[in-house]
Amino acid sequence: MAFNIITEARRCLNCKKPMCVEGCPISTRIPEVIHTFLEGDIDKAGAMLFENNPLSVICSLICNHDNQCEGHCVLGRKSTPVHFSSIENYISDNYFDKLEAGDIEKKGMRVAVIGGGPAGITIAILLARKGYDITIFESREKIGGVLRYGIPEFRLPKSFIERYKKYLLSLGIRIRPNTSIGITITVDDLFRDGYRAVFIGTGVWRPNTLHIKGESLGNVHFAINYLTNPDVYALGDSLNIIGAGNSAMDVARTALRHGCKKVTVFSRSENMAANISEIEYAKFDGVEFVTGVEPIEIREDGTVFIKSEKNSEGKRVRVEGSEKLYPATSTIIAVSQGPRNRIVSSTTGLDITDKGLLVTNTYGETTRDGIFAAGDVVLGARTVVEAVNYSKQVANTMDEYLQSLTEQGAADQ
């Protein structure tokens, strides 16, 4: 393994203008990391990755590398790109368990982090390392958010999330599981109890619907719900999946591993939204694909689709008379999701968009002083690395805000 990784690292051309860095949403200094690794300092290379991206070891497994770093590698134009994902995983995995909290000078200021997903974990780590007393409020029994409840084990082993939990605890971060802010405890309660700032990173867990006949039938489910706990679903022998993003591929491959004999993914467009590599994995697993169709009705015995094609203006239109029933014992809808409004409905001063997303400025400040937000609850369903990148900016903004409170308090005295 190590020999292969070293051989792959040696393929890096150390470009003067590294396109791989431009393709990375969090601007990882890829050539520098590889050079440091090849110089024999794997710990320094690991530190470079972690300081830039606290979820580096996870992103190395689940990022869309085909469209990001590896997709921009100049070697990929005529040959095979440098597989930085494998290099990053090897370095980050080696480094992560060496992380130590060290001596942190406490500032004596409490910060509440609502949501233990990628954004919340990132914020918690960055602010805890700056000396703030962090409590993560997680609505489920375990932290991880989409990492735990939205990505299958075969793509992201849950052991990685447990390692993060161990690190969070070593930083002195408190975790309150099974605690939904906005029901028993409100945001106002948090401020009452001495939290000086609140971060909202609750993600998007409300499935989007198609608004077609049959969505309430007993054999119809939503992707985000299914992926949370596939073991509780009885899908039968065959499954139709409406939607062709990464979640659809995760559902398809998971369903096959849980006993479905035939799984078919349906897409309105011929150009499916999922990563190329995820589509290829799904095909190798035995998933079938039907493109150029739209669902018009879900039945107990399957799903009715109608053909969809582009007209002379490039717009997709239905082909009347082309309706067809595709038999299946179950149907799963995988057309993205939106936020739940539990916190917004119980908190004054927070504005939301017409899609229910929290309104913030570019620094993650919401419309109420002292409350910040990042991740999918602000941007909609995006990638993990995008959530981490945005959360880094918000963590800096929160630090500046909290420092201003300290300075104001000193001035008042």
Could you write out the DSSP letters of every residue in 215-254? TTSTTEEEHHHHHH-GGG----SEEEEE--SHHHHHHHHH
Asked if residue 126 and residue 195 are part of one domain, the reply reads: yes
What are the residues whose beta carbons fall under 8 Å from the beta carbon of 363, sequence distance 6 or more? 393, 394, 397
Asked if residue 217 and residue 177 are part of one domain, the reply reads: no
Q: Which pair of tokens denotes residue 376?
A: 């999918």
* Residue 102, in any domain of the structure: no
Residue 372 structural domain: 110-205+338-412
Q: Which pair of tokens denotes residue 226?
A: 């299914």
Surface-to-core class of residue 3, CB atoms within 10 Å of its CB (0-12 exposed, 13-18 middle, 19+ buried) = exposed
Contact in structure between 138 and 177 (CB atoms under 8 Å):
yes
Asked if residue 6 and residue 60 are part of one domain, the reply reads: yes
H helix intervals, 108-209: 118-129, 146-149, 159-170, 187-192
Tell me if the pTM is above 0.75.
yes
* Residue 101, in any domain of the structure: no
Q: Facing residues of 197 across strands?
A: 111
> Which of 300, 335, 370 is the last residue before a domain boundary?
335
Give the CATH number, domain containing residue 76: 1.10.1060.10
Asked if residue 154 and residue 84 are part of one domain, the reply reads: no
* Residue 14, in any domain of the structure: yes
Torsion from C-alpha of 277, 283, 288, 291, nearest 10 degrees? 30
Contact in structure between 125 and 204 (CB atoms under 8 Å):
no
Number of domains in the chain: 3
pLDDT for 382: 79
pLDDT for 39: 96
* Residue 232, in any domain of the structure: yes
CA distance 181 to 350: 14
* Residue 104, in any domain of the structure: no
> Which of 335, 361, 394 is the last residue before a domain boundary?
335
Asked if residue 260 and residue 201 are part of one domain, the reply reads: no
Consecutive H or E run containing 410? helix 384-412
Contact in structure between 411 and 234 (CB atoms under 8 Å):
no
Asked if residue 317 and residue 217 are part of one domain, the reply reads: yes
* Residue 103, in any domain of the structure: no
Q: Is 136 helix (H, G, I), strand (E, B) or coil?
A: strand
Phi first, then psi, for residue 321 (nearest 5°) are 85, 5
* Residue 81, in any domain of the structure: yes
Please report, as a single letter, which amino acid is at residue 263.
V
Asked if residue 311 and residue 222 are part of one domain, the reply reads: yes
| Residue entry with tokens 């794997």 | 42
Asked if residue 228 and residue 190 are part of one domain, the reply reads: no
Per-residue pLDDT of the chain (413 residues; tens, 9 = 90+): 455 899 999 999 999 999 999 999 999 999 999 999 999 999 999 999 999 999 999 999 999 998 899 999 999 999 999 999 999 999 999 999 899 877 889 999 999 999 999 999 999 999 999 999 999 999 999 999 999 999 999 999 999 999 999 999 999 999 999 999 988 899 999 999 999 999 999 877 778 899 999 999 999 999 999 999 999 999 999 999 999 999 999 999 999 999 999 999 999 998 998 989 999 999 999 999 999 999 999 999 999 999 999 888 878 889 999 999 999 999 999 997 766 666 766 778 888 887 778 889 989 999 999 999 987 788 777 789 999 999 999 999 999 999 998 877 655 55
Asked if residue 220 and residue 196 are part of one domain, the reply reads: no
**229-248 b/e with 16+ CB inside 10 Å = b?**
ebeebebeebbbbbbbbbbb
Asked if residue 320 and residue 229 are part of one domain, the reply reads: yes
> Which of 96, 123, 158 is the last residue before a domain boundary?
96
| Rg of the Cα atoms in the chain | 23
Q: Facing residues of 206 across strands?
A: 338
* Residue 69, in any domain of the structure: yes
Strand order in the sheet with 133-137: 174-176, 133-137, 110-114, 195-200, 371-373
Contact in structure between 339 and 358 (CB atoms under 8 Å):
yes
Contact in structure between 379 and 119 (CB atoms under 8 Å):
no
Q: Facing residues of 316 across strands?
A: 310
Consecutive H or E run containing 258? none
CA distance 61 to 59: 5
pLDDT for 1: 46
Asked if residue 263 and residue 170 are part of one domain, the reply reads: no
Contact in structure between 152 and 162 (CB atoms under 8 Å):
no
Give the CATH number, domain containing residue 248: 3.50.50.60
Asked if residue 269 and residue 237 are part of one domain, the reply reads: yes
